[in-house]
Amino acid sequence: MLEQLKQSTKLFADETTAPVLDPGRGQVKKGQLWAYARDERPWQGAAPPGVAYVYAPDRKHVRPAAHLAGFRGVLQVDGYGAYAELAEAGNVELAYCWAHVRRQFYEIQLRTPAPIAAEALMRIAALYGIEDDIRGRTAEVRRKLRQQRSKPLIDSLHGWLQGRLKSVSAKSTIADAIRYALSRWEGLARFLDDGRIEIDSNVVERTMRPIALGRKNHLFAGSDWGGEHWAVVASLIETCKMNRIDPEAYLRDVLARIVARHPMSRIDELLPFAYRPAQAENAVA
């Protein structure tokens, strides 16, 4: 699944903790589940949506570079430094997430309402309003409309943030929020020039919610091997859900085919991607 996703030129990436039993120490250690997702539906792309999780025993910066070896294109991410190192190799351009920028100001406004945070939220909300209007248009139409409507707002916001940064204490939380945005501005503005890019990385963030729910229910994986299987099962189930395929029916059918000795040379036929067109044909019939 990951190899197929890497054939695309636009992916999302994120990571979250995966608690794993560490028997030698009698404790639970923090493994990581890295998620790489594709969703072209907002711009009428032809490739089916999907997400592949990869388990790793740590959060080292070398992990995404190894997982995405061979990928060339735009990677939409949060502000984690491992992705910036990946981009330095030259094959990947980073698009950053406006939801993470917004969250910085929202948390300030929630704790101690401040005029700067309130205005930042208002300005970002205007960008999201435009995105609501253009969702589902083609990539080229989205690009043109963003150039007409969003670019002036982005340019104005950039100048406004620079001005506000000079007016607040350098050690304040509002200054931290402003610097977070300004230090990533090129990647935050990249969506203006490419209709395939979303304004945020919520596509992959949503795929992390079931993982968080799993942490509450089953608590941890029994070993690193269990973490790897956790990643496999999560990849299949979440990709089914993204394609509106019943995961239980899909797994039942795949297991039956495996028992019937489905050829390994035709494993692509068992991926959730292959079930979407088959499901559509059955519905028409």
The predicted-structure confidence for 118-132, as pLDDT tens digits, reads as follows 999 999 999 999 999
Asked if residue 259 belongs to a domain, the reply is: no
Q: What is the pTM of this model?
A: 0.92
- Average pLDDT (209-219) is 88
Asked if residue 23 belongs to a domain, the reply is: yes
List CB contacts of 108: < 8 A, sequence separation 6 or more: 114, 117, 173, 174, 177
Q: Is the pLDDT of residue 217 over 50?
A: yes
Asked if residue 232 belongs to a domain, the reply is: yes
Same domain flag for 86 and 130: no
- Average pLDDT (66-91) is 90
44-56 residue pLDDT tens: 999 999 999 999 9
pLDDT band, residue 214 (cuts 50/70/90): confident
Q: Which of 185, 216, 237 is at the close of a domain?
A: 185
Same domain flag for 141 and 212: no
* Pairing label, strands 92-96, 73-77: parallel
| Contact by Cβ (8 Å): 13, 203 | no
| Per-residue model confidence (pLDDT) at position 284 | 43
| Per-residue model confidence (pLDDT) at position 17 | 93
- Average pLDDT (195-206) is 96
| Per-residue model confidence (pLDDT) at position 232 | 96
Same domain flag for 90 and 137: no
Q: Which tokens go with 39?
A: 């969703």
List CB contacts of 217: < 8 A, sequence separation 6 or more: none
Smallest CA-to-CA distance from 202 within 103, 86, 133 is with: 103
Same domain flag for 32 and 87: yes
Asked if residue 253 belongs to a domain, the reply is: no
Beta-bridge mates of residue 20: 29, 221
87-130 residue pLDDT tens: 888 889 999 999 999 999 999 999 999 999 999 999 999 999 99
Same domain flag for 89 and 225: yes
Placement of tokens 């929202």 in the chain = 106
- φ, ψ of residue 238 in degrees (nearest 5): -70, -35
Same domain flag for 68 and 39: yes
Same domain flag for 42 and 177: no
pLDDT band, residue 24 (cuts 50/70/90): confident
Asked if residue 53 belongs to a domain, the reply is: yes
Q: Is the pLDDT of residue 23 over 80?
A: no
d(C-alpha 78, C-alpha 88), whole Å: 16
Same domain flag for 105 and 144: yes
Q: How many domains does the chain have?
A: 2
Same domain flag for 66 and 104: no
Same domain flag for 38 and 172: no
220-242 residue pLDDT tens: 898 999 999 999 999 999 999 99
Residue range of the domain that includes 144? 98-185
| Per-residue model confidence (pLDDT) at position 277 | 61
Same domain flag for 12 and 89: yes
Q: Is the pLDDT of residue 285 over 90?
A: no
| Arithmetic mean of pLDDT over the chain | 93
pLDDT band, residue 282 (cuts 50/70/90): low
Same domain flag for 85 and 144: no
Asked if residue 263 belongs to a domain, the reply is: no
Q: Is the pLDDT of residue 280 over 60?
A: no
